[in-house]
Amino acid sequence: MKPIPRYENRTIFGEVEGKVGASVVQLSSRPPGFGNRCQHLIYEMARAAGISDLSARCPRSRNPMNIVKATYEALMKQRLPEDVARARGRKLVDVRKVYYQGLTS
C-alpha cells in the first residue's frame, strides 16, 4: 500500500470518487469526532490508513472485491491543496480559503 495523504492527520482532502466495474465509491471528509461511517470493508481500509473521520457511499454495485479496489483508487486520486494551487497559479493560502472556507490569519 502506498502512503495516503491526510488532512490534519485524520481525514481525506475534500470529496473523491472511485469506480471499478459497476462499483462506485464516494468518499467525503467529515469534521473532527465524526468517526468512520461507511461499509465495513471501507472502514477497515480507512482504519489501516489512519483515517478517523470519513463517510462513504456505495450507490451502485456492492461487489466486495470491487468496493475495495474502488476505495483504493479513490484514496489515491485525492488532489492535494498544493497541487490545486499550482494548477491554478495561486498561493496555497488562497486555495485553502476556497476549499475549507476558513480565514487564515
Residue 10: band (very low, low, confident or very high) from pLDDT cuts 50, 70, 90: very high
Least reliable range by pLDDT among 10-14, 24-28, 63-67: 10-14
pLDDT at 105: 47
Topology given in CATH for the domain delimited by 15-79: Ribosomal Protein S5; domain 2 (3.30.230)
Residue 89: band (very low, low, confident or very high) from pLDDT cuts 50, 70, 90: confident
Cell for 21?
466495474
C-alpha–C-alpha distance, residues 29 and 64, integer Å? 22
Provide the b/e sequence for 78-99 (b: ≥16 CB within 10 Å): beebeebbeeeeeeeeebbeee
pLDDT tens sequence across 33-53: 999 999 999 999 999 999 999
Sequence-distant (6+) residues with CB within 8 A of 93 are 104
pTM: 0.84
Q: Where along the chain do its domains lie?
A: 15-79
With contact defined as beta carbons under 8 Å apart, do 40 and 86 qualify?
no
